[in-house]
């Protein structure tokens, strides 16, 4: 059974994420572009995909528990589903950006 959702903590977490995102954007804007991708890129992508899969698994488990009547926390189920949706959309955007970059590189003249 999922614990009840505290909206204050959710909003505080959102503010924290936005602050970290702004800090990362500022650092990325001042950093020099890398010449080559680090060798850990593949492992970072695998870890990110495993994380997204875990989030989707938790959302599915929460949904199943609610449907069986084991849980009465509809808000928790909806939040878990939204987290899974956001994680999937972010993964999809990364994939689209990578494909776009690949197409750009492949269309460059020699």
Residue spans per domain, the chain: 7-106
Check pLDDT > 60 for residue 34.
no
For residues 5-21, give the mean pLDDT.
79
Query: Structure pTM?
Result: 0.58
For residue 73, with 0-12 CB atoms within 10 Å meaning exposed, 13-18 middle and 19 or more buried, which class applies?
middle
The encoded tokens of residue 32 equal 């020099």
Confidence band of 61 (pLDDT split at 50, 70, 90): very high
Check pLDDT > 70 for residue 99.
yes
Using CA atoms, how far apart are residues 49 and 16, in angstroms rounded to an integer? 23
How confident is the model at residue 90, as a pLDDT? 93
Confidence band of 36 (pLDDT split at 50, 70, 90): low
For residues 62-90, give the mean pLDDT.
92
């Amino acid at each position: 059974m999922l614990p009840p959702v505290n909206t204050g903590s959710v909003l505080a977490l959102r503010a924290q994420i936005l602050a970290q995102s702004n800090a990362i954007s500022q650092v990325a804007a001042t950093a020099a572009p890398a010449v080559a991708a680090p060798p850990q890129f593949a492992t970072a992508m695998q870890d990110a995909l495993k994380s997204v899969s875990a989030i989707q698994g938790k959302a599915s488990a929460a949904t199943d528990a609610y449907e069986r009547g084991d849980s009465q926390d509809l808000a928790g189920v909806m939040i878990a589903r939204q987290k899974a949706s956001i994680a999937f959309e972010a993964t999809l955007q990364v994939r689209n950006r990578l494909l776009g970059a690949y197409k750009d590189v492949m269309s460059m003249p020699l």
